Amino acid sequence: MRIGILTSGGDCPGLNAVIRGAVLNGIKTYDHEFVGFQDGWRGVVEGDVVDLPRQRVRGISKQGGTIIGTSRTNPFEGELGGPQNITATLERLGIDAVIAVGGEGTLAAAKRLTDAGLKIVGVPKTIDNDLDATDYTFGFDTAVQIATEAIDRLRTTGESHHRCMVAEVMGRHVGWIALHSGMAAGAHAILMPEQSVPMEQVAQWVREAHERGRAPLVVVAEGWVPQDTDEAYSDRGLDSFGRPRLGGIGDRVALGIEEATGIESRATVLGHIQRGGVPTAYDRVLATRLGMASVDAVSDHAWGNMVALRGTNIYRVPFQAALNNLKRVPQHRYDEAAILFG
Ligand code: F6P
């Protein structure tokens, strides 16, 4: 078979390990051939492909990003989009099946295309770890490792200046990165979209840590909303040098803490650093195994399925299983972490 692989949505450490795992398993076990679609669904709709021979994937599992590029292109949009056009493009290129590596949006598009008759298998991908039907997604472990190291470094400034340090981590809808990096780094408060907490409670945790002589550390997921949302925060903020605060949630939390406690506070937004650079060993292994399993699924003609992790095994689930719900941090995981707050 001639198989096309695409990586779509935000880049994520481990994407290259998926590609390598798929290509090596496909060539060695099944004698398949591989091409990569350039820049996600854009390469599919425009028929823009590169060959992926064995030598092209040599040594790439430790590289960050994706060697075939990514984008947030919607395959149903544009003159060349939609199932009929894409089927014609794949026929013209002699491509028998597609492996789509991506998050919720990618898998939803893959499901629609499979329902229309295309031959697609999926691989779940997101640093946020919010895809259902898989225990973990590759990229998450790397993001947590990077965030933890960054928070450890913020601690030294906090201790030296007797400040409260606030780290804003990724997580638009869920707090998995905040939970794990916050627990690992010993944060005094972890704020996540799943838990609505008043600013006064956050200030209280900070006071408790400060009174024990600690430099308070707060980790906030980018999607957290304070219970007592006050839009005026962004207007009020000037730091102790008179510099305007930017108004992101990290800055708003730092300002709220400073106003409530009088403790000088600073925020750091970790942003895309969490997605950059080399994947951890755990992510390389998980991504390699998922890539290999996706080729087994293609070889079994298991169209419309995604490969996923349950416990230590890789199994297959229909796309829909990953799309029904976001995987949020459950209450018991938050309660466990909250014992450590303050
Ligand atoms: O979904 C992964 C993610 O990294 C989110 O945590 C973040 O909100 C978003 O992507 C950022 O997207 P972009 O790279 O397009 O700014």
Residue span of the structural domain in which 224 resides: 141-276
**ipTM of model:** 0.93
Q: How many CB atoms lie within 10 A of CB 213?
A: 8
Query: In the chain, how many domains are there?
Result: 2
Claim to verify: residue 25 and residue 88 sit in the same structural domain: yes
Whether residue 333 lies inside any domain: the answer is: no
Using most ligand atoms within 8 A of CB, pick from 7, 73, 127 the residue to mutate for ligand 1.
Answer: 127
Claim to verify: residue 87 and residue 164 sit in the same structural domain: no
Claim to verify: residue 160 and residue 82 sit in the same structural domain: no
Claim to verify: residue 180 and residue 247 sit in the same structural domain: yes
Q: How many CB atoms lie within 10 A of CB 72?
A: 14
Q: What residues act catalytically?
A: 128
Claim to verify: residue 104 and residue 58 sit in the same structural domain: yes
- Ligand 1 atom nearest 11 alpha carbon: 14
Please answer whether residues 25 and 5 qualify as being in contact, where contact means their C-beta atoms are separated by less than 8 angstroms.
no
Distance (angstroms) between ligand 1 centre and the Cα of 10 equals 6
Whether residue 239 lies inside any domain: the answer is: yes
Claim to verify: residue 165 and residue 242 sit in the same structural domain: yes
Q: pLDDT at position 325, please?
A: 94
Claim to verify: residue 119 and residue 188 sit in the same structural domain: no
The angle that helices 249-261 and 199-211 make with each other, rounded to 10 degrees, is 60
Claim to verify: residue 13 and residue 127 sit in the same structural domain: yes
pLDDT at 246 over 90: no
Instruction: Label residues 227-251 b or e (16+ Cβ within 10 Å = b).
Output: eeeeeebeeebebeeeeebeebbbb
Query: Measuring CA to CA, how many Å separate 233 from each of 56, 162, 190, 219, 318?
Result: 51, 23, 20, 18, 44
How much is the average pLDDT of 271-286?
97
Claim to verify: residue 120 and residue 177 sit in the same structural domain: no
Claim to verify: residue 259 and residue 150 sit in the same structural domain: yes
Nearest-CA residue for atom 8 of ligand 1: 172
What gap in Å lies between CA 101 and CA 62, rounded to an integer?
A: 17
Query: Measuring CA to CA, how many Å separate 335 from each of 189, 220, 339?
Result: 12, 16, 7
Rounded percentage of the chain residues whose pLDDT exceeds 90: 93
Is 263 labelled as part of a ligand binding site? Answer: no
How much is the average pLDDT of 57-71?
97
Instruction: Return the CATH number at 269.
Output: 3.40.50.460
Instruction: Return the CATH number at 290.
Output: 3.40.50.450
Q: pLDDT at position 169, please?
A: 98
pLDDT at 233 over 60: no
- Please give the model's pTM, rounded to 2 decimal places: 0.95
Which residues line the pocket of ligand 1, CB cutoff 6 A?
10, 126-128, 170-172, 222, 275
Nearest-CA residue for atom 13 of ligand 1: 10
Claim to verify: residue 244 and residue 178 sit in the same structural domain: yes
What gap in Å lies between CA 331 and CA 195, rounded to an integer?
A: 9
